[in-house]
Amino acid sequence: MNRKKYKQLRIIVTFFVSAVVSMAVIRDSYLLAATGVLTGMVFMVLVRVKAKIRTDERESTIQEKAARMTYAIFAPTIGVAAFLLLLPSKGGISVFSKGEWLFTESLGMVFAYLTLFLITVYAISYHFFNRKYGGGGNEE
Amino acid sequence: MGVAAMKNKLKIYRAMHNLTQEQLADKIGVSRQTVIAIESDRYLPSLGLAFKIARLFKVKIEDIFTYGGKEE
């Protein structure tokens, strides 16, 4: 199987999974949705392994750059949003202290923890890849 | 090193060997888009891919890829 056929097959499987999930939503069945998605994923992994489809290196480069840009945009955005949402509740502003805007504090906390989680995952993966590609050692 | 500093003769070598972009892509295990991007100097291939290309055409890497930047 060449890359073109693999891409066509991927489109067909995507349509199949979408149809199954739509049907699951109509029938209100979580099990059907989960089964459909899992079947699609397992099928595509098996096809990829059997047909020995390798990731194109240009595609990998694009993915790396897109991931880096996503992190560079998302982390500060969500961090600043958390700060802005938490600031009024700590500042004792009357409209917030009445509890009418209590949800902003909760949302701020969720954003703050998400930011921490994102930074932690980045730091761990950076450390892992740094070691994998020869960094961190003092060997001569 | 910027992409602009590198030039290549991949298109010439491909024509010399009567290969289409699709055929070349299949032989070196990349997509046709990657071959197009390399030929138009918009993407720098990895060292491994550059060796693969050079080996396919039975030439040295520097025969296909040339560095046009300033010496430091």
Based on the domain organization, do A32 and A73 belong to the same domain? no
Please, what sign has the CA dihedral across residues B27, B28, B31, B32?
negative
Contact A58 B43 (CB under 8 A): yes
What letter does residue A99 receive in the DSSP assignment? T
| Residues of chain B contacting A59 with CB distance shorter than 8 Å | 31, 34
Q: Could you list the residue range(s) of the whole structural domain that residue B11 is in? A: 3-59
Q: Looking at the domain assignment, is residue B72 inside a domain?
A: no
Cβ distance A70 to A18 under 8 Å? no
Q: In Å, how far is B1's CA from the nearest CA of chain A?
A: 15
Q: In Å, how far is B71's CA from the nearest CA of chain A?
A: 27
Q: In Å, how far is B10's CA from the nearest CA of chain A?
A: 16
Q: Looking at the domain assignment, is residue B36 inside a domain?
A: yes
What letter does residue B62 receive in the DSSP assignment? H
Per-residue pLDDT tens, chain A, 140 aa: give them. 666 787 788 888 889 899 998 998 888 888 888 998 999 889 888 887 877 766 789 989 999 999 999 999 999 999 999 999 888 776 655 555 556 667 788 899 999 999 999 999 999 999 999 999 887 666 65
Look up residue A124 and give its two tokens. Answer: 């761990």
Classified as helix, coil or strand, B67 is: strand
Based on the domain organization, do A64 and A123 belong to the same domain? yes
Q: Looking at the domain assignment, is residue A28 inside a domain?
A: yes
Amino acid, single-letter form, for residue A108: G
Residue A56, pLDDT score:
84
| Residues of chain B contacting A3 with CB distance shorter than 8 Å | 31
Cβ distance A23 to A31 under 8 Å? no
| Residues of chain A contacting B43 with CB distance shorter than 8 Å | 58, 61
Beta strands in chain B (DSSP E): 6-8, 65-67
Which residues of chain A approach chain B closer than 8 Å at the C-beta?
Answer: 2-3, 54, 56-59, 61
Nearest to A114 by CA among A71, A51, A56: A71
Based on the domain organization, do A61 and A128 belong to the same domain? yes
Contact B43 A56 (CB under 8 A): no
Q: How far apart are CA B13 and CA B46, in angstroms?
A: 18
Please, what sign has the CA dihedral across residues A73, A78, A79, A85?
positive
Based on the domain organization, do A44 and A69 belong to the same domain? no
| Residues of chain B contacting A2 with CB distance shorter than 8 Å | 26
| Counted domains in chain A | 2
Residue A121, pLDDT score:
96
Based on the domain organization, do A24 and A7 belong to the same domain? yes
Based on the domain organization, do A41 and A62 belong to the same domain? no
Cβ distance A85 to A104 under 8 Å? yes
Cβ distance B64 to B57 under 8 Å? yes
Q: Looking at the domain assignment, is residue B52 inside a domain?
A: yes
Q: Could you list the residue range(s) of the whole structural domain that residue A87 is in? A: 57-132
Size of interface A-B (CB pairs under 8 A): 21
Cβ distance B49 to B28 under 8 Å? yes
| Residues of chain A contacting B26 with CB distance shorter than 8 Å | 2
Question: Residue B69: pLDDT band by 50, 70, 90 thresholds?
Answer: low
Q: What angle do CA B43, B46, B49 make, to 5 degrees?
A: 105
ipTM of the complex: 0.80
User: CB burial class (10 A; 0-12, 13-18, 19+) of residue B64?
Assistant: buried
Q: Which residue of B has its CA nearest to A56?
A: B30
Mean pLDDT to the nearest integer, B58-72: 83
